[in-house]
Amino acid sequence: MAQTTAGTAAPRIGEVLVTEDRLAERISELGAEISRDYEGRELLLVGILKGAVFFLSDLMRHLDVPCEVDFMAVASYGSSTDSSGVVRILKDLDVPIQGRHVLIVEDIVDSGLTLSYLLRTMRARDPASLDVCALLTKPDRLRSNVAIRYTGFEIPNRFVIGYGLDYGQRYRQLPYVAVLAD
Ligand code: IMP
Ligand code: MG
C-alpha cells in the first residue's frame, strides 16, 4: 500500500538518464582532458557544496596535475526546483585565489544564474585563470551567458536526482543520475 506520511513516502526515482558506467567513463575522460590542459600548472578545484562533492572526489582521482581543493556553499533563493539568481554565500573559500588557476566544479548548471554570480564574485578576487567544469548542463534552460569549459553531459529539461543531486536534500547517494518521478 502506498505510504503518504512524510519520510516514508515511496521513492521518486524515475528513468535513469546517466548510468553509473557512463558517469565513470566520462569522468575519466574529463580528468584526462583537464590534466592535459593544465599541464605544468597547479590547479585549485573549487567544489560547490553540497551537490558537487561526489563528482569532485571522483574527478580529482583522475587528475595528474598538482591540485588542491576548496569548497564554497551558496544558497540560491527560489523554490526547491527553480533558482532565482539571488545568491547568498553560506561558506566562503578558505584560501585567497589571487594568482591561482581556479576550476569551479559544479554538479549541474540549470539557468546558469548561480554560476554567473559565482563567476563574478571569484573574478573580482583576481585569479590567474577561472574556468568551470559542470557534470550536467540543461542547454534548454540556460538563461545566463556563462562559458562552461568542461561539460560531462547535456541533459533535457527534467529535474534530476542522484550522484550528488538532491530533491529536498534526499537522493544524493544514488550512484546514477535519474529523473525525479511524479
Ligand atoms: P541554476 O542557478 O538555475 O543554474 O541552478 C543551480 C543549482 O540548482 C544547482 O547547483 C543545483 O543545486 C540546483 N539544480 C538545478 N537543477 C537541478 C536538478 O535537476 N536537480 C537537482 N538540483 C538542481
Ligand atoms: Mg548545486
Q: What is the pLDDT of residues 3-13, one digit of tens each?
A: 444 556 778 99
Of these residues, 37, 92, 94, 110, which one is catalytic? 110
CATH fold group of domain 4-180: Rossmann fold (3.40.50)
One-letter amino acid of 35: S
Helix (H, G, I), strand (E, B) or coil at 8: coil
CA quadruple 76, 130, 96, 32: dihedral, nearest 10 = 100
| Secondary-structure breakdown of the chain: helix, strand, coil percentages, each rounded to the nearest 5 | 20, 40, 40
Q: What is the pLDDT of residues 99-137, one digit of tens each?
A: 999 999 999 999 998 999 999 999 999 999 999 999 999
Give the H/E segment covering residue 117: helix 113-123
| Positive or negative: CA dihedral 69, 122, 161, 29 | negative
108 lines ligand 1 (CB under 6 A): yes
pTM: 0.92
Q: Which residue has the cell 573559500?
A: 93
Give the H/E segment covering residue 97: none
Mean pLDDT calculated for residue range 157-169: 96
Helix (H, G, I), strand (E, B) or coil at 151: strand
Q: What is the pLDDT of residues 21-57, one digit of tens each?
A: 999 999 999 999 999 999 999 999 999 999 999 999 9
52 lines ligand 1 (CB under 6 A): no
Task: Return the percentage of the chain with pLDDT > 70, whole number.
Answer: 90
Known catalytic residue at 182: no
All structural domains of the chain with their residue ranges = 4-180
Which residue in 98, 116, 97, 92 sits closest to 106, CA to CA?
A: 116
